[in-house]
């Protein structure tokens, strides 16, 4: 089964990158940042109603239930691809619970666990056992999955990254001189499967829990990514991850931090992302209780504002012209971000 799916995806890569596939559509690309209280679970629904779930949050009925509720609200009956960034509990723990509640097609990951810890080994074994009846695909940088109307491209996986700049990228990064030599990281975080999703002129960057050294390898001395419209803060808005050389070089127009009330959203990372040159707004899944008010977004841009979270999410609707809106499900507040005339990504 794995071999057959591999062949299907590899044969589809030519179609994936073909300009004809990127025909304009009136339907938006929808992205839902689901509240799994300090983990990750991001649901992406394409204009063609294909679906990708990036990570499944923690084990238990809470996170799986929230994923299913959002998926049904988005009008889908199956998640076509579940992409697992790495094998920490807050990202892969909910796989078995989700499979009990909802139909899933193909699982995508970076391959075997590479962290020498009992927890990561246990998480990986549980993941493999849970998906034994599903197709599984291992992807490497530069590859993707066949989708109609959008491109999902893997930038990082298993400690490797794309060797060459993406179209329109490759400029020398003036912010690299601000960074010190980062330490090595042998955890699964540094092996995160990170992706860039492109819909016409709209670009969304999700690098999972990628850590500082791997982040800098992507953008120093040259920025291999280019600019993006929407940036999911790496590692839940943790520090020293989200270095200036990344968060400033990709020039996001909007950033989202998928933090929990007591996890992520560090003041140092928050300030770096907030100060990114073109940033219009920074949205958060939770108010960061262990930070302070100056290092939290305004309450109307925070989905969950106290420790008794009701599982509110953040929704993005993007057009192929690069314009998009962001909505807070807690209060219904929606902000629109018009396309930038200077953005013209092939």
* pLDDT for residue 8: 45
* pLDDT for residue 342: 54
* pLDDT for residue 251: 97
pTM as predicted: 0.93
* pLDDT for residue 14: 40
Q: Are 213 and 192 in contact (CB under 8 A)?
A: no
* pLDDT for residue 26: 82
* pLDDT for residue 24: 52
Tens-digit pLDDT string for the chain (346 aa):
444 444 445 434 443 443 334 445 589 999 999 999 999 999 999 999 999 999 999 999 999 999 999 999 999 999 999 999 999 999 999 999 999 999 999 999 999 999 999 999 999 999 999 999 999 999 999 999 999 999 999 999 999 999 999 999 999 999 999 999 999 999 999 999 999 999 999 999 999 999 999 999 999 999 999 999 999 999 999 999 999 999 999 999 999 999 999 999 999 999 999 999 999 999 999 999 999 999 999 999 999 999 888 899 999 999 999 999 999 999 999 999 998 665 444 3
Domains with residue ranges and CATH for the chain: 25-337 (3.60.15.10)
User: How large is the greatest C-alpha to C-alpha distance in the chain, in angstroms?
Assistant: 52
Residue among 119, 240, 250 nearest 194 (CA):
250
* pLDDT for residue 341: 65
CB atoms within 10 A of CB 170: 14
CB atoms within 10 A of CB 187: 17
Q: What are phi and psi of 195, to 5 degrees?
A: -130, 155
Q: Are 339 and 328 in contact (CB under 8 A)?
A: no
- What is the residue-wise DSSP string for 98-112? HHHHSEEEEEEE-SS
* pLDDT for residue 307: 86
Q: Are 40 and 55 in contact (CB under 8 A)?
A: yes
């Amino acid at each position: 089964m794995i071999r057959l799916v591999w062949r299907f995806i590899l044969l589809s890569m030519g179609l994936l990158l073909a300009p004809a596939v990127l025909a304009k559509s009136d339907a938006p690309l929808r992205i839902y940042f689901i509240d799994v209280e300090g983990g990750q679970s991001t649901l992406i629904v394409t204009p063609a109603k294909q679906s990708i779930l990036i990570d499944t949050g923690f084990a238990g009925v809470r996170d799986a239930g929230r994923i299913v509720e959002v998926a049904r609200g988005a009008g889908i009956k199956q998640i076509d691809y579940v992409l697992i960034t790495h094998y920490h509990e807050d990202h892969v723990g909910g796989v078995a619970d989700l499979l009990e509640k909802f139909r899933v097609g193909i699982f995508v990951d970076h391959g075997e666990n590479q962290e020498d810890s009992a927890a990561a080994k246990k998480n990986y074994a549980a993941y493999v056992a849970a998906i034994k009846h599903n197709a599984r695909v291992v992807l490497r940088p530069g590859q993707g999955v066949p989708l109609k109307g959008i491109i999902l491209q893997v930038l990082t996986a298993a400690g490797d990254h794309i060797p060459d700049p993406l179209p329109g990228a490759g400029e020398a990064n003036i912010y690299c001189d601000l960074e010190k030599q980062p330490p090595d990281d042998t955890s699964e975080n540094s092996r995160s499967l990170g992706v860039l999703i492109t819909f016409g002129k709209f670009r969304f960057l999700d690098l999972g829990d990628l850590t500082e050294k791997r982040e800098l390898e992507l953008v120093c001395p040259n920025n291999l990514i280019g600019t993006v419209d929407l940036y999911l803060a790496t590692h839940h808005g943790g520090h020293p991850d989200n270095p200036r050389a990344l968060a400033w070089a990709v020039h996001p127009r909007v950033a989202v931090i998928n933090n929990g009330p007591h996890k992520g959203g560090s003041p140092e990372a928050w300030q770096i992302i907030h100060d990114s040159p073109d940033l219009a707004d920074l949205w958060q899944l939770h108010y960061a209780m262990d930070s302070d008010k100056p290092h939290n977004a305004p309450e109307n841009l925070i989905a969950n504002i106290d420790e008794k979270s009701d599982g509110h999410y953040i929704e993005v609707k993007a057009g192929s012209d690069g314009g998009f809106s962001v909505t807070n499900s807690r209060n219904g507040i929606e902000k629109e971000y018009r396309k930038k005339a200077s953005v013209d990504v092939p």
